[in-house]
């Protein structure tokens, strides 16, 4: 950790003039920021994007206030490479738009400006004020439950700070003197690795329940503890996620599971009761089919590993694992009613997907390959004649084969078929012929990998006899 910064945290006196607790938003507004001068914090221009700096300088030179805020400053503080850069300013979206030819105003719920530099996009946000104040541009809306529907009321930097989610996300880097303005004791919370909601957590989660998911995401990604006061209401308010539009949840799911900390995130979502609000049928399947949880964890672990190795990952594979349990339960029921396996899987896939879409919208470009991965699970065991060669040519073969390996690893099916396919892919023509003959001798059409355990878990104890 940067020396000056540590010193700043340790020295009492003038640096600690704002002793308000960050849970007390009103106090935070009155006390003003703590200014951390350039020589006492670790954020250096060398680690900031040139495009972001250009935006800051141009706003500054035009007479506006301009700061970097949010994840980029938080991550720089922690010595991590920032992923993207968010600028906060007192210029309105229209004024920002006028300064940058390469910009456009986006969003309705939150109007912001995107300034584009090649592939990089800098997000410029006008300071938000309090929704109930009588500002010029008065268009904040709140639902009866306290959910913020729109938030386009402009304010000053202090008001903007207390409307952000966590204290560590409310650090503002000023381009005027390279100092950091800390409105909610974010620097202290970074030092103690604490994730703390600004203001009254219950109210803030009610305003925007996605903040509960963001709490889990940051805790898992940064390895921070959620402060007790910010943690407790999550258990109680998890159900509020049901109000969030499926499209927004899809974006959040990607950020949750495709950021390299999927396993930890999944466990935390379950711990806080958030997971059943996102994937209700999967939660149910986990209670009935013991391998479901292992399959999901194995898929997340493999995704995390690929991300660390900078190999490509696809949400289709993850969704395939997340929803395979419910699909298998549904397929089993359809088969019990007399439907043959192939149509039963197709119908089960369709039904599970359409129910899931009410919670999280999965775009077709991911749901189609997901269904291919499922369909191929029925084709992988059929290896007679040309079938193995045809399956091998399927564009989704590789993902389906990886998926089969995870099913074996999770104990859903007996190992064996995965090894066969591994050998088949690696073998020369001669070896492939030998494997095909071996498979032909053992397999029958409609064959499927052997299940390891009975489909449904037995009740632990029989219900007491009624005398």
Contact 125, 112 (CB under 8 A): yes
Judge whether 86 counts as a catalytic residue. yes
**171-174 and 66-69 strand pairing:** antiparallel
CA–CA separation, 88 and 70 (whole Å): 9
Residues 6+ positions from 346 with CB-CB distance below 8 Å: 375
Contact 181, 153 (CB under 8 A): no
Any contact of residue 169 with ligand ATP (CB under 6 A)?
A: yes
Instruction: Report the nearest approach of ligand ATP to the CB of residue 165 (Å).
Output: 4
Any contact of residue 82 with Mg ion (CB under 5 A)?
A: no
Q: Which of 5, 22, 48, 71 binds Mg ion (CB under 5 A)?
A: 71
CA–CA separation, 217 and 393 (whole Å): 38
Which does residue 29 bind out of Mg ion, ligand ATP, none, counting CB within 5 to 8 angstroms by kind? none
Any contact of residue 237 with ligand ATP (CB under 6 A)?
A: no
CA–CA separation, 405 and 213 (whole Å): 30
CA–CA separation, 371 and 359 (whole Å): 18
* Among 389, 345, 334, 387, CA closest to 370: 345
For ligand ATP, the binding residues in 35-74 under the rule CB under 6 A are: 70-71
In the stretch 201-220, what mask flags binding to ligand ATP with x, by CB under 6 A?
A: -------x-xx---------
Any contact of residue 84 with ligand ATP (CB under 6 A)?
A: yes
Which does residue 103 bind out of Mg ion, ligand ATP, none, counting CB within 5 to 8 angstroms by kind? none
Which one from 23, 90, 151, 165 is the annotated catalytic residue?
165
Which does residue 299 bind out of Mg ion, ligand ATP, none, counting CB within 5 to 8 angstroms by kind? none
Contact 194, 187 (CB under 8 A): no
Interacting stretch for Mg ion, rule CB under 5 A, among 81-89, 104-112, 183-191, 404-412? 81-89
Length of the chain, in residues: 467
CA–CA separation, 420 and 86 (whole Å): 50
Which does residue 165 bind out of ligand ATP, Mg ion, none, counting CB within 5 to 8 angstroms by kind? ligand ATP
Instruction: Report the nearest approach of ligand ATP to the CB of residue 164 (Å).
Output: 3
Q: Which of 15, 41, 111, 164 binds ligand ATP (CB under 6 A)?
A: 164
**180-182 and 171-174 strand pairing:** antiparallel
Q: Which two tokens stand for residue 27?
A: 């106090």
Query: Which residue in the shown chain puts its C-beta closest to Mg ion?
Result: 71
Interacting stretch for ligand ATP, rule CB under 6 A, among 78-86, 281-289, 338-346, 436-444? 78-86
CA-to-CA dists, residue 304 to 200, 217, 250, angstroms? 34, 14, 19
Any contact of residue 181 with ligand ATP (CB under 6 A)?
A: no
Instruction: Report the nearest approach of ligand ATP to the CB of residue 264 (Å).
Output: 16
Instruction: Report the nearest approach of ligand ATP to the CB of residue 38 (Å).
Output: 21
**Helices (DSSP H) in 100-209: which residue ranges?**
157-162, 186-191, 201-207
Residues 6+ positions from 74 with CB-CB distance below 8 Å: 168, 169, 171, 186, 190
Any contact of residue 165 with ligand ATP (CB under 6 A)?
A: yes
Any contact of residue 182 with ligand ATP (CB under 6 A)?
A: no
CA–CA separation, 193 and 190 (whole Å): 5
Which does residue 167 bind out of Mg ion, ligand ATP, none, counting CB within 5 to 8 angstroms by kind? none
Judge whether 165 counts as a catalytic residue. yes
**SS3 state of residue 197:** strand
Which residues are designated catalytic? 84, 86, 165
Binding site for Mg ion (CB under 5 A): 71, 84
Binding site for ligand ATP (CB under 6 A): 70-71, 83-84, 86, 164-165, 169-170, 208, 210-211
């Amino acid at each position: 950790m940067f020396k000056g910064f540590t010193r700043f945290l340790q020295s009492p006196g003038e640096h600690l003039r704002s002793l308000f607790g960050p849970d007390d938003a009103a106090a935070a507004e009155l006390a003003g920021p703590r200014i951390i001068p350039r020589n006492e914090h670790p954020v250096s221009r060398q680690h900031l994007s040139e495009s972001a700096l250009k935006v800051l300088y141009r706003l500054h030179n035009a007479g506006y206030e301009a700061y970097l805020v949010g994840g980029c400053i938080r991550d720089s503080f922690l010595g991590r490479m920032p992923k993207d850069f968010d600028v906060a300013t007192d210029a309105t979206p229209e004024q920002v738009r006028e300064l940058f030819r390469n910009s456009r105003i986006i969003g309705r719920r939150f109007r912001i400006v995107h300034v584009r530099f090649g592939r990089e996009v800098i997000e410029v946000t006008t300071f938000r004020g309090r929704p109930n104040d009588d500002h010029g541009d008065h268009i904040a809306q709140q639902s009866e439950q306290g959910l913020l529907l729109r938030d386009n009321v402009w304010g000053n930097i202090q008001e903007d700070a207390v409307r952000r989610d966590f204290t560590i996300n409310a650090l503002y880097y000023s381009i005027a003197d390279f100092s950091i303005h800390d409105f909610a004791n974010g620097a202290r919370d970074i030092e103690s690795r604490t994730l703390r909601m600004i203001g009254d957590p219950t109210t803030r989660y009610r305003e925007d329940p996605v903040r509960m998911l963001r709490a889990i995401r940051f805790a898992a990604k940064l390895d921070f503890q959620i402060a007790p006061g910010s943690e407790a209401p999550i258990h109680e308010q998890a159900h509020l996620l049901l109000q969030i539009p499926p499209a927004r949840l899809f974006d959040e799911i990607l950020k949750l599971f495709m950021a390299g900390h999927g396993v930890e995130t999944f466990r935390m979502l379950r711990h806080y009761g958030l997971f059943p609000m996102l994937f209700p049928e999967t939660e149910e399947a986990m209670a009935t089919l013991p391998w479901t949880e292992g399959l999901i964890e194995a898929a997340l672990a493999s995704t995390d590993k690929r991300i660390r190795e900078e190999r490509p990952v696809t949400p289709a594979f993850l969704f395939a694992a997340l929803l395979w349990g419910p699909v298998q339960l549904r397929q089993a029921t359809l088969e019990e009613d007399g439907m043959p396996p192939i149509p039963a899987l197709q119908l089960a896939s369709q039904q599970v997907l359409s129910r899931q879409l009410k919670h999280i919208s999965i775009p077709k470009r991911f749901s189609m390959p997901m269904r291919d991965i499922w369909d191929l699970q029925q084709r992988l065991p059929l290896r007679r004649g040309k079938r193995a060669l045809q399956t091998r040519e399927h564009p989704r073969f590789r993902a389906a084969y990886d998926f089969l390996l995870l099913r074996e690893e999770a104990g859903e099916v007996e190992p064996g078929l995965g090894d066969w396919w591994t050998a088949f892919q690696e073998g020369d023509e001669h070896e492939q012929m030998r494997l095909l003959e071996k498979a032909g001798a053992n397999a029958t059409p409609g064959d499927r990998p052997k299940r390891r355990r009975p489909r449904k878990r037995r009740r632990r104890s029989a219900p007491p006899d009624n005398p």
